[in-house]
């Protein structure tokens, strides 16, 4: 049995704060096993209790893992007063109070983004020590050459003197390229190309480890994924 206070359960499994959860319970909006419960301290079993909020079932999950096809013009942040964030795009059924993006994509960068309330997983995804590759497709103002490929492999030195880890650069068409990096410095890919006298016109992340952006996931759409599959394809992607 896994016992938990009702107010804590509602807060942990939704986007409601603890005080907001208490208010909803006292208002009679929460039912346990089809019976309205107005006592926030009521004890439930997270494994067996059937809990609803305003008639909608709240299913217990220790953590939630989502992937998004991030659209352009949306900020990779949990909240911002003036700009729409990726969290604003998450449907209510997936909302958690600690939900956050695992790493950043620039406001005008699109593509694969992981969101979760599992802080340890986020740390492992963004840590350069884990060497989880991120692949981007870039549209450029001019074509790349062999010297650019070598410079990326040797480790680009940014304008502020920062040296990037070795990266893979491949031509992907007329004024298009694919870049594989293992870290996530601020505006890194754009700054790497700028260091080579080139400019990024459009940038899209297409994979993290073995996790690829689903072709049928439209910009702004969200998909829930399992922890085991996500772990296998990202942090543990090298394991057979």
CB within 8 A of 33, min separation 6: which ones? 49, 50
Active-site positions? 106
Report the 3 state secondary structure along 193-215: HHHCCCCEEEEEEEEECCEECCC
Domains in the chain, CATH or no CATH each: 3-58 (3.10.290.10), 65-128+213-233 (3.30.70.580), 133-208 (3.30.70.1560)
Q: Does residue 125 register a pLDDT over 60?
A: yes
The candidate with the shortest Cα–Cα distance to 44, out of 3, 93, 87, is 3
Mean pLDDT, rounded, for 21-25: 94
240: pLDDT strictly greater than 50 = no
**Which residue carries 């031509």 as its tokens?**
171
CA distance 66 to 229: 12
Q: What is the pLDDT of residues 43-86, one digit of tens each?
A: 999 888 999 999 989 888 889 999 999 999 999 988 888 889 99
| Host H or E run for residue 188 | helix 188-195
């Amino acid at each position: 049995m896994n016992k938990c206070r009702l107010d804590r359960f509602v807060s942990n499994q939704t986007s409601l704060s603890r005080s907001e959860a208490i208010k909803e319970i006292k208002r009679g909006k929460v039912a346990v096993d089809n019976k309205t419960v107005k006592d926030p301290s009521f004890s439930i079993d997270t494994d067996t209790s059937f809990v609803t909020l305003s008639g909608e079932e709240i299913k217990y999950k220790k953590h939630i893992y989502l992937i998004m096809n991030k659209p352009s013009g949306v900020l990779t942040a949990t909240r911002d007063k003036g700009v729409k964030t990726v969290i604003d795009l998450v449907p209510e059924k997936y909302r958690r109070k600690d939900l956050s993006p695992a790493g950043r994509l620039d406001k005008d960068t699109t593509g694969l983004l992981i969101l979760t309330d599992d802080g340890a997983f986020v740390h492992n995804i963004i840590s350069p020590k884990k060497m989880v590759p991120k692949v981007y497709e870039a549209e450029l103002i001019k074509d790349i050459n062999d010297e650019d490929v070598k410079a990326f492999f040797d480790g680009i030195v940014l304008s502020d003197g920062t040296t990037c880890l070795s990266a893979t650069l491949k031509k992907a068409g007329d004024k298009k390229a694919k870049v594989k990096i293992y870290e996530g410095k601020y505006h890194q890919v754009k700054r790497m190309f700028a260091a080579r006298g080139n400019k990024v016109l459009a940038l899209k992340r297409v994979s993290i480890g073995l996790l690829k952006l689903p072709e049928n996931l439209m910009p702004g759409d969200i998909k829930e994924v399992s922890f085991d599959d996500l772990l296998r394809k990202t942090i543990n992607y090298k394991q057979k």
